[in-house]
Amino acid sequence: MKSANKEVNQLDKKHFATNAVHAGEEKEFTNRPLNTPIYLTSTFTFPDLDTAEKTFDFERSDYVYTRGNNPTIRALEEKMTALEHGNDAVAFASGMAAISSVLLSLLEKGDNLLAHQVLYGSAHNFISEILPRRGVATEFIDLRDEKVFLQKIKAGVDVIYFETPANPTLDIIDLEKIAKYADSYNIKVVVDNTFASPYWQKPLDEGIDIVLHSATKYICGHGDALGGIVVSNDQDYIQKLKFGYMAEYGGVMSPFNAWLMLRGLKTLALRMDAHAKNASQIADFLVSHPKIEKVYYPGQKDFADYQLAQKQMSGFGGIVSFEFAGDKEDIEVFLKKLKLIKLAVSLGDTETLIEYPFAMTHRGYAKDYLEKIGINANLIRISAGIEDVRDLIKDLDEALA
C-alpha cells in the first residue's frame, strides 16, 4: 500500500484531511467568515476604466465575470489543487464538460487518441463518436496488456486516456508505467480519478499530466450537485483550458455548486474511509453468497489487479461490482426487492446505490462488445454509502433470498 508520507502536500506540508478542510478557504473576505461565501453574482464591478483595462491585460487579477472566475469557484479550484498535489485547477459544470474540454484542448484533426476499453459510458461515446467526427483517430485497447500498448504507442499516439479504477469493472491501470512510457514518446496522459478520489490515489505524483473528476461523485459526496474539475502541474495548460475552453465553450460551474463541493470536501477523508470499509464488508459478504458468481473489488486478494491496486492506491475505494448467478429476470426481481439500497446511476453519495450497467450506464453499446470487455449481462455495480453496513448487508441478503 502507498506510504503515508505521500499524503503530505508538497505545497504547504499539510496532511490530506487538513487540506480538505482548510485549503483554498479563509481568504481576506469582508467580516472574516470561517467558510468561503457563495458569490452568487454573474459579473463584478470595476472602480474605474484603468483598473478594468489592467485586468483585461492580465496585469491585475480582479474578478470580471463568473464564466471565467469567481471567488467561490476559485476556492474550490485551490482546494482541489492542494488535494491532488497539482499546481492549478479549473472547475467545470459537470464531469463530461471537463472530459470533453480537456480532450478537445489536446487533440486536433489528424491526431491519435488511445483509451482504455472500459470507461464510463458517456466518456466512451465522446471518444468513439464525437472525436472521430472531428478528424481524431481513436482506439480502445486493454491498457493492462503491455505488449499491445507498446505496439500502439510506437505507431504514434498523441493522448492516452483512462480511468483507474475503471467504471464499472474496476480494472486498475498502472499509472507510473503508463506515465513513464508516455513521457519517452512525448504523449500527454489524462486520468479520470473519480472512483479513487485524491484520498486514495494521486495520479500527478505518479507522473500523469492531467487528472480530472466527475466532482458530482465523491468530491461533492451528497448527490446534490453536478460538477467537474481538472488539475495539472502545468499552470500554463490550466490557464489555456480555463480561458480557451471552459470560458469559451461555456461549461462553467455554478458558484452555488462550488460551495456545495467545498462543503462536501471537508469530510472527504472521513467519508472515503467509511465508503471503503462498507465496500470491503459488502465484497466479503458477496464472495460467500451462493447466488453470486464473481466479485470485483480491488481490495479482494483474488481480484485480478489486486497487486497493482495495492501498489498505487492507499485504499481500495467504495465501489464493488459483482456477477449475479441468474438472468435478467432474476436481476430484476433482486433489484426490486431491495428496500434500503436504491437503483440509480450515480455513485459516491452517502446513500448506497446500485445499478445494472448492461441496461443502464453502458446500454448504448453492442452487447457482444460489452461482453468482450468484461461488462457482462449479469454484472451489477454497488456504490457503498456510509450507512451502517449491517443494514446494507441485511438488505442485500433479504433481496437475494
Residues that bind ligand PLP (CB under 6 A): 94-96, 120, 122-123, 163, 167, 192, 194, 214, 216, 226, 228
Dmax over CA atoms of the chain, in Å, equals: 74
- Residue nearer to ligand PLP on the CB measure, 379 or 399: 379
- Residue nearer to ligand PLP on the CB measure, 123 or 210: 123
CB of 163 to ligand PLP, least distance (A): 5
CB of 239 to ligand PLP, least distance (A): 23
CB of 205 to ligand PLP, least distance (A): 20
Q: Is 324 exposed, middle or buried (0-12, 13-18, 19+ CB in 10 A)?
A: buried
- Residue nearer to ligand PLP on the CB measure, 120 or 237: 120
CB of 235 to ligand PLP, least distance (A): 24
- Residue nearer to ligand PLP on the CB measure, 83 or 400: 83
CB of 95 to ligand PLP, least distance (A): 2
CA angle 107, 111, 113 (to 5 degrees): 75
Cite the active site residues.
67, 120, 192, 217
* Cα–Cα distance measured from residue 190 to residue 107, given in angstroms and rounded to the nearest whole number: 12
CB of 10 to ligand PLP, least distance (A): 26
- Closest chain position to ligand PLP (CB): 95
- Residue nearer to ligand PLP on the CB measure, 9 or 232: 232
* Cα–Cα distance measured from residue 119 to residue 310, given in angstroms and rounded to the nearest whole number: 21
- Residue nearer to ligand PLP on the CB measure, 9 or 169: 169
Sheet holding 188-192, edge to edge: 88-92, 228-232, 210-214, 188-192, 159-163, 112-116, 137-141
CA angle 173, 176, 182 (to 5 degrees): 90
